[in-house]
């Protein structure tokens, strides 16, 4: 992917979805930190304390053996 296209794509994603993309040695990460802060400020909740999202610790995700095989490079 060319750097120019990559920057263009990142701009489009951030504009429409509030997504931010961070690339580093560990991998590529997509997050919405700025979007979340902006929403909190808009509704005067900027001083709210962060909380974790409750999630079961014993849930394991596994492959859908009966599902349709997809090319992961397309997604």
Q: What is the pLDDT of residue 43?
A: 94
Successive 10-residue mean pLDDT values, the chain, 75 residues: 54 67 86 88 90 77 80 71
Q: What is the pLDDT of residue 18?
A: 79
Q: What is the pLDDT of residue 11?
A: 56
Rounded Cα–Cα distance for residues 14 and 45 (Å): 22
21 touches 10 (CB < 8 A): yes
Structural domain boundaries in the chain: 1-47
Q: Could you write out the DSSP letters of every residue in 1-43?
A: --HHHHHHHHHHHHHHH--EEEEETTEEEEE-HHHHHHHHHHT
């Amino acid at each position: 992917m060319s750097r120019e296209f990559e920057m263009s794509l990142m701009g489009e994603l951030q504009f429409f979805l509030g997504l931010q993309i961070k690339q580093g040695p560990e991998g590529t990460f997509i997050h919405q930190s700025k979007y979340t802060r902006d929403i909190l400020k808009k509704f005067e909740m900027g001083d709210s304390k962060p909380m974790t999202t409750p999630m079961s610790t014993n849930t394991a995700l596994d492959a859908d053996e009966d599902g349709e095989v997809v090319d992961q490079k397309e997604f």
